[in-house]
């Protein structure tokens, strides 16, 4: 494991009201998240051009079988993931009963990460959000779409799978500062949404229990149900 310490001064932006510094600035949560993700490059200094690089968050767990199936010769592989909230087997669905997907984890060769995606893991992951990608030419954008392979159901996104105390702590520190409000970040609300299988921020979602089987979940969790019984229903 290569551990990278990102200890740069936090990035700031002009405040639109609320808590702020005396100079009218507030911490720019999304810019700091991007800077931290881009710091991944510091841990890849010894990487070879043909090494396969996967960019994901810590609560996004890849299937080992899927990793083995990635075609490294593709410019990019995008790995679609199902969401699970509060419990490992409590899956998130849209109101039309389709599984809610996150489409952000990606894989590519180190050479492509450096030269095609500008050496920016943030741009590679959040293609439609970053300024550098918005400045791509029509030709480059369409080349990406032509050479991007999508793999369905390849990753598990276990979000908010933690104690209520840790959920409150996470809500206070993630980039979605617009949701860190008293009506959401309080013990009564957190316990209620866990008990009733509701979206933590009141969005239109369905949370449905799934059978915990080796066919659909990480083998380690299935084989260690007692260890994780607090987070299995």
The per-residue pLDDT for range 60-91, each reduced to its tens digit, is 999 999 999 999 999 999 999 999 999 999 99
Same domain, yes or no: 36 and 55: no
- Quote the DSSP letter at residue 99: B
Same domain, yes or no: 59 and 29: no
Same domain, yes or no: 108 and 7: no
Among the residues of 42-152, which ranges form H helices?
Answer: 64-69, 110-115, 121-125, 131-134, 138-146
Same domain, yes or no: 13 and 61: no
Same domain, yes or no: 168 and 195: yes
pLDDT reported for residue 20: 59
Same domain, yes or no: 58 and 129: yes
Share of residues in the chain with pLDDT > 70 (%): 97
Same domain, yes or no: 131 and 202: yes
Same domain, yes or no: 146 and 79: yes
Q: Could you tell me the pLDDT band of residue 134, with boundaries at 50, 70 and 90?
A: confident
> Rounded to whole angstroms, how far apart are CA atoms 49 and 52?
8
Same domain, yes or no: 152 and 221: yes
Is residue 47 predicted with pLDDT exceeding 80? yes
Same domain, yes or no: 104 and 205: yes
Same domain, yes or no: 15 and 92: no
Question: Which range marks the domain in which residue 8 is found?
Answer: 1-46
pLDDT reported for residue 72: 94
The count of domains in the chain is: 2
Give Cβ neighbours of residue 83 (< 8 Å, ≥ 6 apart). 91, 92, 99, 100, 101, 102, 157, 159
Name the pTM for this structure: 0.92
Q: What is the CA radius of gyration of the chain?
A: 19
pLDDT reported for residue 155: 85
The per-residue pLDDT for range 179-223, each reduced to its tens digit, is 999 999 999 999 999 999 999 999 999 999 999 999 999 999 999
pLDDT reported for residue 24: 84
Same domain, yes or no: 6 and 65: no
């Amino acid at each position: 494991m290569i551990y990278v310490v990102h200890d740069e001064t936090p990035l700031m932006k002009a405040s639109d009201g609320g808590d702020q510094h005396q100079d009218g600035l507030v911490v720019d949560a999304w810019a700091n998240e991007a800077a931290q993700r881009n710091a991944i490059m510091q841990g890849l200094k010894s990487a070879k051009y043909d090494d396969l690089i996967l960019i994901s968050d810590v609560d996004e767990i890849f299937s080992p079988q899927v990793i083995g199936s990635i075609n490294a010769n593709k410019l990019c592989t995008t790995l679609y993931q199902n969401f699970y909230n509060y419990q490992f087997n409590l899956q998130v669905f849209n109101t039309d009963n389709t599984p809610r997907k996150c489409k952000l984890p990606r894989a590519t060769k180190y050479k492509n990460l450096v030269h095609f995606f500008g050496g920016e893991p943030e741009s590679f992951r959040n293609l439609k959000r970053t300024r550098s990608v918005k400045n791509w030419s029509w030709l480059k954008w369409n080349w990406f779409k032509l050479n991007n392979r999508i793999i369905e159901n390849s990753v598990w996104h276990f979000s908010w799978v933690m104690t209520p105390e840790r959920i409150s702590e996470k809500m206070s520190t993630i980039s979605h500062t617009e949701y860190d409000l008293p009506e959401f970040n309080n013990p009564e609300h957190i316990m209620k949404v866990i008990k009733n299988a509701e979206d933590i921020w009141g969005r239109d979602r369905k949370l449905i229990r799934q059978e915990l089987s080796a066919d659909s979940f990480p083998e380690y969790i299935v084989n260690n149900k007692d260890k994780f019984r607090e987070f299995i229903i």
